[in-house]
Amino acid sequence: MKKYFICKSTFDATILRSFEPINNILDWNCFSVDEGEVAALPGYAVELGKDMAIFGTRGWGDIRSTIKISASDAELNEEFDNLSYSDFATSAKVAIPMTETRYNTVMRTMKLFAKVIIEDTFNKRFEALDEGVSSLEKKNWEYLVSDIENDTDFILSSLADAKSVTVDQLKTSVTEKRNFYRVASKDLFVSMNTLKKEFYNCTTIRQLNRLYEDKMGIPMPYEQAREDSRIDETSKSQLPVSPGITF
């Protein structure tokens, strides 16, 4: 049985014999693997349903009422849309309606990717608060905070002597650093959840496309850019979009 996941492109997929790529969004791969190889995936891999993996990513950002699929995939798509495509012209490509089922699947997929990318980005920023701090320092930081909170002296005096400062000076330094860390951590957490809510509250693909362009540098379809006045009136080309994360 196949399982479907999204995972950072930096993951070495060559170790998975059953790996089958489906799509790539902002350096996150969507792919399938056999159930027996799931254990080899890194912990940050996120599982999603087959419908989202296949139809959600392939319809990513599409605002058209009619879309085209490969004729070779018609049977699979017919089952998903619960439609008979016999009424539509057949060639190498088949023009089919964007059904409500497909539209909602695309939206759920775009929201899931947004959640995963946002959380990963803010986790990196949180981890950067401790950048360059050793495990030994982290452990003894706990002892320092405990001494200050409980008015004990397990480490305060000896560390103050080692640093050639007074106990009060050391207490002040620890308290200031602790307050900075708490505020920075809180601000990151609030900002992360505010941004996730923006994506979650979207009720149309158009709204999601705007956020992806503004926040993550993925250009919206030309038709929407024209509707949203995001084109150069002289050249009629889309206005340039800064690539990558911009939040």
112-165 per-position pLDDT tens digit: 999 999 999 999 999 999 999 999 999 999 999 999 999 999 999 999 999 999
Non-local CB neighbours of 138 within 8 Å, separated by 6+ positions: 130
Q: Is residue 161 part of a domain?
A: yes
State whether 192 and 142 are in the same domain.
yes
**Upper half-sphere CA count for residue 140 (Cβ side, 13 Å):** 11
Q: What is the pLDDT of residue 196?
A: 98
Q: Structural domain tally of the chain?
A: 3
- Which H helix or E strand runs over 102? helix 100-128
| Per-residue pLDDT, 90 | 59
Q: Which residues contact 55 (CB under 8 A, 6 or more apart)?
A: 77, 80, 102, 105, 106
State the pTM of this model.
0.90
Q: By the 8 A CB rule, do 4 and 34 touch?
A: no
Kindly state whether residue 23 falls inside one of the protein's structural domains: yes
d(CA 198, CA 29): 23
For residue 38, being part of any structural domain is answered with yes
Low-confidence ranges of the chain (pLDDT < 50): none
